[in-house]
A and B are shown apart, each in its own frame.
Chain A
Amino acid sequence: MQFRVKEDGVNVHVSLEGQLNFAANEDFQGLLTQLCTYKGKKIFFEMSGLSHIDSVGLGLLYIAREDMAEAGSDITLSHPRDNVYRMLELTEAHKTFDIQR
């Protein structure tokens, strides 16, 4: 997985690319470290570049959400591809995350 972070003053946009799966550990740790510097922001995870997510990847998003909530920020999942959205649906991720199609 690769990621890019951009801040526009109000929001933080995180573009994810590749697979967010059991092997994405190093990259995600880097992302968590970077996101910790933003307090009280709305964070958008742009998922259109994500080709696959598994339950481990989803678990990492839950960890990020918990950490960001402590910093007063909240997370929105934006534009997942159909297959990634299927995974979000199956795991009832909408109960926890704001999801924008």
Chain B
Amino acid sequence: MMNISVPHQPMATVTMLVGDGVISEDLAGQCAALGLRVALLPDGRCDGADGCILAGASSAGLVRRGMTPPFSGFVELGDEGVLGVGLRCFETVRAGGLCLSLLTGQAYALNTMELLSEGIRHSMNLPAGKVADQIDICMGEAIGNAVIHGNLGIPNHLRATSKGFEHFRHVLHERLADPVLSRRRVEVNVMARGADFLTITVSDQGHGFDLAGKLSRDVQSDAKSGRGLGLIRKICASVLGEDEGRTLVMTFAR
């Protein structure tokens, strides 16, 4: 029998630096299982790692720092540490991309799109202008959908009139206060595809929906809701749905 030797490719090392609090035994164990080195700021360093993620309770300052080199992303630590964070987040950082994982409450409260936009322009050398604006538009739509329709499960039609809007606000408050729904994660992963393309995935942890059906629908110019996916389809070089509609994969020509 021929013996084929496959060259050993060591797994890229990812370090997670915890920006506030302590590293519990549980968190240390979770990180070990995920192949992550974990250390506390300010003593921990990103030196020698192939990718470095900042983690902690999220604030605009910490998220912004996580989106800026030497970091390649920010992960909000929930009560259960990194349980529930998608593996795609760590894989993206290992492969040289940028990741953001926030619980729904913070994804709603922070200016998530602007924080991401700053990080992408910086880390991916994306100049200001039409393409960067279009990427912002699509990210804003996808994050809004992931929070409102995905994780909080609020349907579109509520915002069709000012009366409906009042009801929408009531439902929104109720659902943001729900400990199960508000702990669902919204995750954004960004990868350069060669010099000419950029892929951004936005994922939620809701019930999923018929993304293909929604993507193929035309929207009236004076519609008060339901425009987001149509806009994304118009702008992106390609759009795909994964995980029964919980993940939107958008590829942009740079």
A40 at the interface (CB under 8 A from B): no
As a 0/1 sequence over residues 163 to 178 of chain B, the CB contacts with chain A under 8 angstroms (1 = contact) are 0011011001000000
How many of chain B's residues have a CB under 8 angstroms from any CB in A? 34
Bound Cα distance from A8 to B224, whole angstroms: 30
Known A59-B225, A95-B221; judge A86-B169 contact (CB<8 A): no
Contact in complex: B114, A58 (CB < 8 Å): no
- Which of chain B's residues have a CB closer than 8 A to the CB of A51? 114
As a 0/1 sequence over residues 130 to 174 of chain B, the CB contacts with chain A under 8 angstroms (1 = contact) are 100110110011011001100000000001011001101100100
- Which of chain A's residues have a CB closer than 8 A to the CB of B130? 86
Contact in complex: B141, A55 (CB < 8 Å): yes
Contact in complex: B136, A55 (CB < 8 Å): no
- Which of chain B's residues have a CB closer than 8 A to the CB of A29? 165-166, 169
> Counting chain A CB atoms within 10 Å of each CB, which of B109, B111, B162, B228 scores highest?
B162
Contact in complex: A63, B221 (CB < 8 Å): no
Bound Cα distance from A23 to B148, whole angstroms: 9
Closest 8 CB pairs of A and B: A22-B144, A55-B227, A83-B133, A59-B224, A92-B221, A54-B140, A62-B224, A55-B228
- Chosen A-B contacts, 25 in total, with CB atoms closer than 8 Å, are A21-B113, A21-B140, A22-B143, A22-B144, A22-B148, A23-B109, A25-B172, A29-B165, A54-B137, A54-B140, A54-B141, A54-B144, A54-B228, A56-B159, A59-B227, A62-B223, A63-B159, A63-B161, A66-B162, A83-B133, A90-B137, A90-B235, A92-B221, A93-B221, A95-B221
Interface residues of chain A, those whose CB is within 8 Å of chain B, are 19, 21-23, 25-26, 28-29, 32, 51-52, 54-56, 58-60, 62-63, 66-67, 82-83, 86-87, 90-93, 95-96
